[in-house]
Amino acid sequence: MECDKLLSIDFSKAFASGGCPICRLLRKVEVEHIFSMLYENVNDPVTRIKLRKSLGLCPFHAWLLVEVVFSSPEIHPMSPSIIYEDIIGEAINAVENGSTPTIQSRCPVCSIVDEFEEIYIEGFAACAESPGFLVEYESSNSVLCLKHYEKVIKRVSKETMKKLRRIQVKKLRRLRELMRSFIDKQDYRSSEKATEEEALAWVAAIEALKGYKTSVAMSRCGGGKPRSSRFLRRGSR
């Protein structure tokens, strides 16, 4: 994949907003896709068939849809009503027949986000090889989340990987410094007032560790066994 101009403009904008640039671009994809689904595709037969098969959007995107409707004056509540009136009909039929509706296909927004995640990971890796891109990234407040950092470094040259590792460590250290400074300034002997950046560094740390609120970051807990199974084993002794 080439680092094309449009892609590097997208990344420049993402750098300006801080956070993980890939997660932030994916969040934009999710919100824009849901917006256009509600704004112009409510009566599109293909969209409606897909939504019927997936029983609407997944929980994450369905609740994001609620946020989009409530925060967009351009979207009339008629749009989600038309979509969900249709889908709840499917549920009524199934329950009447003594079952519950089966989900036959994936949430359409999840599928789009997965495709774009691949494009942005590949794009970041391609752009990282071109001069100037990493300089811009390094000087911004952006920090690749650990998941996206790991995926990007697997696709770059050895030299770029070393540069990215150095930048990542520097950015994570900076977050730690900001939090330390904030903690120190809470001491009653400290006369210095904490900055807003220091006060909010813990939020940036969460994003750097776990990613921004997108379906790709929110769908997996990762690591460890589920607690319930340990409790069950203990209870059965």
Binding site for Zn ion (CB under 5 A): 20, 22-23, 58, 61, 107, 109-110, 145, 148, 211, 215
Complex with Zn ion: residue 83 or 109, whichever CB lies closer: 109
Query: CA–CA separation, 39 vs 44, rounded Å?
Result: 11
Complex with Zn ion: residue 79 or 215, whichever CB lies closer: 215
Provide, rounded to whole angstroms, the least separation between the CB of residue 130 and Zn ion: 21
Complex with Zn ion: residue 185 or 213, whichever CB lies closer: 213
Provide, rounded to whole angstroms, the least separation between the CB of residue 125 and Zn ion: 14
Complex with Zn ion: residue 22 or 68, whichever CB lies closer: 22
Provide, rounded to whole angstroms, the least separation between the CB of residue 17 and Zn ion: 13
C-alpha distances in angstroms, 73 versus 39, 59, 203, 205, 234?
Answer: 11, 23, 29, 33, 53
Give the other-Cβ count within 10 Å of 146's Cβ: 15
Provide, rounded to whole angstroms, the least separation between the CB of residue 185 and Zn ion: 29
Closest CA to 172 of 150, 140, 204: 204
